[in-house]
Structure 1
Amino acid sequence: MTEFAPDAGFRKNRKLKAALLRHKALSKDGLSERLFGLLFSGLVYPQIWADPDLDMQAMELQPHHRIVTIGSGGCNMLAYLSKSPASIDVVDLNPHHIALNRLKLAAFRNLPGHADLVRFLAQPNEATNSSAFDQFLAANLDETTRSYWNGRKFGRRRITVFDRNIYKTGLLGRFIGAAHLLARLHGIDLTEITRTRSVREQRQFFDEKIAPLFEKPIVRWITSRKSSLFGLGIPPQQYDELASLAADQSIAPVLRHRLEKLACHFPMRDNYFAWQAFARRYAPEGEGPLPTYLKREHYEAIRDNVDRVGVHHASFTELLSREPAASRDRYVLLDAQDWMTDQQLNDLWTEITRTARSGARVIFRTAAEKSIIEGRLSPALRDQWTYLEDRSRELTSLDRSAIYGGFHIYEKTA
């Protein structure tokens, strides 16, 4: 098992540093990369911001499939377990995400029942959650993960964040909180959209309350800076991709369009991403959905399958380089390729292609609409994969998380 320091910073995490840094330290781009790296070295995603239901439709999971996925907040790999795949390897360069993934797996394995699981992982202001950790989870964690959650931050044990609201923490949680504060300064309470009763009312709220915010000078000034999107986990490279979509190179119209999809394209009762964005929590019972992995109908299958997961503090390429040829069926890259150089992309796809069985699928997301690998992979690699373009376009329109421009599926043909 790879060990990591409970307070590992960006300088100590060589793997993360190598993945993020391209430019000289004192250059404008280099400074931007290092600022993002420092922010990204802590917990970023308490909830993964990618729709696992979309992933499962794209992957068409079968019981014999062996999956490799980036971990992030862990919601995706747990959802995949509802389909009982043969195995899942989870990789992540962020040690905080590793600790969160391992904790969520332990919660399924060791908490007494479904209600206890939902209380621990989904309900805010439950003061007994840290006690549940002490009673049921701590002794069943590896020493490194146990030390992480027992470690102190600002004078309190890290695990006590579950007594409050973990979804208000991490880089993403703080970014959403800052957006709420900015809206309140302009007289808008974003939580009011959760009280709408139809998509029509959601549209009215967006048009009347949210859309005008993007014309405010302070909002346009903030969104004109690359660092404004670091809180979404979007690095400088992705900012450039998004800015290229707008005629005036401003990110504000792109953000407005993505937020419009989140607010207006799906009923609030069906979209837990919208609840997290606008209410900073999941919906109360009966008012909206829980994430797939927390739904009662999937509880037993996920609990029974948690031992099929391995969690690795490693890069995707690094893990695959240790695996035998023709040994994996499904690969979930999230948006990681948006950060990569051409060399890194080709190194990654070399290992994917080597380890992929015939019919294997790779799925990923991109900040912009177009697939990131076209024109960048060597022909020898690219020619072994078929782009399922129509299916990719169809599923992009169904993505409830709404933050990405494109969702892409590739299938191995040889």
Structure 2
Amino acid sequence: MSRQPEAPPHTVRRTELPGAVDDRLYFAQVREDPELEIAAFAGHGDGPIAVVGSAGCTALSLLAAGATEVVAVDVNRTQNHLVEFKAAAISQLEPATALGLLGGSAMVAAARRSAYAQVRGVLTPGARAYWDAHPQAIASGVLQAGVTERLMRLIARTLRLVHPRRTGRLLALRTLDEQREFYRREWDTVGWRLLFGVLCNRLVLRRTYDERFFAHVENPSYARHFRQVAEHTLTGLDIDGNYFLQLLLTGGYQQARPPYLAGPVPVDRLHLVDGTFTGYLRTRPDASMAGFALSNICEWLSPAEVDELFAEIVRTARPGARLVFRNFVGWTEVPPRWRDAVREDRARGEELMRTDRSLCQRRFAICEVTP
């Protein structure tokens, strides 16, 4: 009797917890600069770091920067299907092929389908079934497959109408002085300002995303927030190294790439968890975690749920563990009863926030947890 060939091992470990759901793919790219998390966890990466999975960019970039174990947690299985896809691509393919398959560089649809066939076998059954059912997303490059990316493409098309001959010149600038002068003289037009009011307002965002994303957010002007962030990015940060801006304006990565696409990533140190962040922490022993990266999930939670989350963070944190969280359009503070155990370094967080190139974020908080 002939033996059946053994199935190849899956690229990453994956665990499912109660409460996981199958939802839309909201994020194909994490609209947060992972260099902030990398800086925040410097010297604190010698143990498990729990990260919101989202599109996987932060989790994979932390591994690329040397973290010993990263647990990417997302209640939406679809998001973790994407993280698994990215991990398989960068671990199984040559770098140029992985970049093309994901959509970071030009590749014809047939070549993307062929590259997918090379990684399909190492995906878990759920991820494989999902991507088999979404061939167009693969053919187009999965970095453009999310709900957010559809909105960003609309913004990019509108921007090319507002500045039909200026985007290439913008990307060619090489000094901050050049950027500031170009912005003042040519970029900061009435059309540029109107773009934010038309496409980055509360109504558009609420129609784009699930309403629960903003259920606990109070922000008087989304448009003003995004315009201020964009102005800082274009006048205060190096454009030449901004892969977020390059991908938005050109559809691909040019001079720069995310850390997980710029070097080797030990994906065997990645563990995917389908479930809530609080639910995952409840499975962990006391004092077992080296770090936590919450992204902006506190904006989606009620005050009681935020308090429950911080209770588990304090319980599971090693002494001196690092916690970071972000705000997209809302504002989160450490719950009052946990402020003795969770101490925010606001000055350091604000310093790092000024370096964020993502064009989206409002706040970055960095805390030390001492139970």
Indicate the TM-score class for this superposition, using the shorter chain for normalisation: 0.7 to 0.9
**Structure 1 residues 159 and 220 mapped into 2: Cα distance closer, same or farther (>3 Å)?**
closer
**346, 357, 370: which one aligns with 1:400:** 357
Task: Report 1:51-90 matches (<5 A).
Answer: 51-62=33-44, 64-90=46-72
Unaligned 5+ segments in structure 2 are 1-13
Structure 1 position 212 matched with structure 2 position 180: no
SS at 1:268 equivalent: coil
**Structure 1 residues 413 and 87 mapped into 2: Cα distance closer, same or farther (>3 Å)?**
same
**Structure 1 residues 411 and 332 mapped into 2: Cα distance closer, same or farther (>3 Å)?**
same
**305, 310, 323: which one aligns with 1:344:** 305
**Structure 1 residues 80 and 219 mapped into 2: Cα distance closer, same or farther (>3 Å)?**
closer
The letter of the residue matching 1:266 is L
SS at 1:282 equivalent: coil
Task: Report 1:68-217 matches (<5 A).
Answer: 68-111=50-93, 113-121=94-102, 122-127=104-109, 128-134=111-117, 136-152=118-134, 156-162=135-141, 166-186=142-162, 188=164, 191-192=167-168, 193-207=170-184, 208-216=186-194
SS at 1:89 equivalent: strand
Structure 1 position 309 matched with structure 2 position 270: yes
Superposition deviation, residue 109 in structure 1: 2.5
Q: Larger relative CO (CA 8 A, sep 6+): 1 or 2?
A: 2
Q: TM-score, normalised by structure 2?
A: 0.85
Residue equivalent to 2:11: none
Contact residue 87 and residue 308 of structure 1 kept, 8 A: yes
Residue equivalent to 2:289: 328
Structure 1 position 236 matched with structure 2 position 218: no
Residue equivalent to 1:8: none
User: Distance between the aligned counterparts of 1:100 and 1:276, measured in 2?
Assistant: 18
Superposition deviation, residue 356 in structure 1: 0.5
The letter of the residue matching 1:351 is E
SS at 2:62 equivalent: helix
**Structure 1 residues 233 and 52 mapped into 2: Cα distance closer, same or farther (>3 Å)?**
farther
Superposition deviation, residue 231 in structure 1: 4.5
Structure 1 position 362 matched with structure 2 position 323: yes
User: Distance between the aligned counterparts of 2:304 and 2:342, measured in 1?
Assistant: 18
User: Distance between the aligned counterparts of 1:176 and 1:62, measured in 2?
Assistant: 34
Q: TM-score, normalised by structure 1?
A: 0.77
Superposition deviation, residue 149 in structure 1: 1.0
Structure 1 position 227 matched with structure 2 position 204: yes
SS at 1:270 equivalent: coil
Residue equivalent to 1:266: 237
Contact residue 361 and residue 412 of structure 1 kept, 8 A: yes
Superposition deviation, residue 311 in structure 1: 0.6
The letter of the residue matching 1:183 is L
Paired residues, number: 353
SS at 2:240 equivalent: helix
Superposition deviation, residue 141 in structure 1: 1.3
Deviation string 1:356-385 (CA, Å, 9 cap, x unpaired) is 000101101113686x124xx252x22112
The letter of the residue matching 2:303 is D
Residue equivalent to 1:410: 367
User: Distance between the aligned counterparts of 1:224 and 1:130, measured in 2?
Assistant: 37
Structure 1 position 289 matched with structure 2 position 289: no
Residue equivalent to 1:37: none
User: Distance between the aligned counterparts of 1:229 and 1:279, measured in 2?
Assistant: 27
Superposition deviation, residue 407 in structure 1: 0.7
User: Distance between the aligned counterparts of 1:183 and 1:378, measured in 2?
Assistant: 43
User: Distance between the aligned counterparts of 1:132 and 1:126, measured in 2?
Assistant: 11
User: Distance between the aligned counterparts of 1:56 and 1:220, measured in 2?
Assistant: 33
Unaligned 5+ segments in structure 1 are 5-12, 18-40, 244-249
User: Distance between the aligned counterparts of 1:278 and 1:229, measured in 2?
Assistant: 24
Residue equivalent to 1:246: none
Contact residue 44 and residue 233 of structure 1 kept, 8 A: no
SS at 2:290 equivalent: strand
Superposition deviation, residue 61 in structure 1: 4.0
Q: Sequence identity of aligned pairs in percent? A: 26
Question: Aligned-pair RMSD on alpha carbons?
Answer: 2.8
User: Distance between the aligned counterparts of 2:274 and 2:280, measured in 1?
Assistant: 9
Residue equivalent to 1:35: none
